[in-house]
Amino acid sequence: MRAMLLDHPRQPLRLAHVAARTPGAGEILLRVVACGVCRTDLHIADGDLPEIRSPVIPGHEIVGVVETLGADVAGFAPGQRVGVPWLGGTCGHCRYCTSGRENLCDDARFTGYHLDGGYAEYTVADARYCFPLPAEYADAAAAPLLCAGLIGYRSLVAAGNARRLGIYGFGAAAHIVCQIAVWQGRDVFAFTRAGDVSAQDFARKLGARWAGDSTASTPAPLDAAIIFAPVGALVPIALRATAKGGVVVCAGIHMSEIPAFPYEILWGERTIVSVANLTRRDGTEFFTLAPRVPVRTEVVTFPLAQANEAMARVREGRITGAAVLVTPGF
């Protein structure tokens, strides 16, 4: 099969021919039809995360069609469309796995990081961590649901019942969370890179009550803020915008250093919390919710071989919605 390989961090991905793996017990072989480009893929390519496999096939928002089943696979059949998310496996017995927090498993394995992912024509996944996908979504439109949607949903839950919700960074996850939050009756305030008029227009189109620069003062105190941009300087900015008792949710896997800030902006029972990974329960809840809203994803598609270009566009914020690699143009 053809695949885009990351040989070493800080190098472009390389198009290569490699053998597709044969599915082992409990695994399924999927023909990849679409794979989203997540900011985490950039952090992997940049070497921001520890112990990156070499080489590795990135990609953890995989929409695939079941080709063959390994031994002992239940619940999936050849020809079925399934989604493969970031959480690719857990130990099943640590204190996190046994208390409903498998997202924090000490021995978790992540797709496109510890395990080869979806920047390829085929991939192999542990069937227990795959999701059937709602039929309402076309292949490319479904891809961003698998991480931007899932992690966004978990971040929104972490924001509690906030009525006024600030969102910092209006990329793939934000455009999904905004739609859910508006549908839930919340007021969304979207904060973007300074001068990013198109992202601000996009946020208003999706129902945000207000959109402006992250450096602008908030038009009203927030009850919660979700930070999707990997920019530590946004933490004190979001804290200052958040009312007493409010929560600031850091939703990314990596963030630049958070600058020192005076205690008074945390005082008043404000909370800072991070959101890490996903549980399978998040997936079940989110894939039930998304078609009800209905969440509509906006995607920009690229042939698989143009993964480097797609990643560059995500890095520069030059994507409205989500970037998705598709195999037909490969």
Residue 278 as a binder of Zn ion (CB under 5 A): the answer is no
DSSP label of 92: S
Q: Does 147 bind Zn ion (CB under 5 A)?
A: yes
**Nearer to Zn ion by C-beta: 105 or 125?**
105
Residue in 34, 52, 73, 105 binding Zn ion, rule: CB under 5 A: 105
Q: Which of 28, 90, 131, 248 binds Zn ion (CB under 5 A)?
A: 90
Site size toward Zn ion (CB under 5 A) is 8
Q: What interhelical angle do 197-205 and 172-183 show, nearest 10?
A: 30
Subset of 189-218 contacting Zn ion (CB under 5 A): none
Applying CB under 5 A, among 16, 18, 20, 94 the residue interacting with Zn ion is: 94
Residues 6+ apart with CB under 8 A from 40: 49, 60, 86, 112, 113, 147, 252, 253, 254
CB closer to Zn ion, 178 vs 241: 178
Instruction: Verify binding: residue 38, Zn ion, rule CB under 5 A.
Output: yes
Q: Among 253, 48, 53, 47, which Cα is nearest to 147's?
A: 253
Give me the 253-272 binding string for Zn ion, x by CB under 5 A, dash otherwise: --------------------
Beta bridge partners of 36: 324
- Smallest gap, in angstroms, from Cβ of residue 147 to Zn ion? 3
Q: Does residue 97 bind Zn ion (CB under 5 A)?
A: yes
The DSSP symbol for 263 reads: G
Shortest approach of Zn ion to residue 280 CB, angstroms?
A: 13
Q: Distance between CA atoms of 264 and 87, rounded to whole angstroms?
A: 37
328 phi/psi in degrees, rounded to 5: -60, -35
Span near Zn ion by CB under 5 A; candidates 23-31, 83-91, 201-209, 211-219 = 83-91
Contact between 307 and Zn ion per CB under 5 A: no
Burial (0-12, 13-18, 19+ Cβ within 10 Å), 242: buried
| 277 contacts Zn ion (rule: CB under 5 A) | no
Q: Where are the alpha helices (DSSP H) in 245-330?
A: 280-289, 307-315
Contact between 115 and Zn ion by CB under 5 A: the answer reads: no
In sequence order, which ranges of the chain are alpha helices (DSSP H)?
A: 39-45, 139-142, 148-158, 172-183, 197-205, 234-241, 280-289, 307-315
Would you tell me which residues interact with Zn ion (CB under 5 A)?
Answer: 38, 40, 90-91, 94, 97, 105, 147
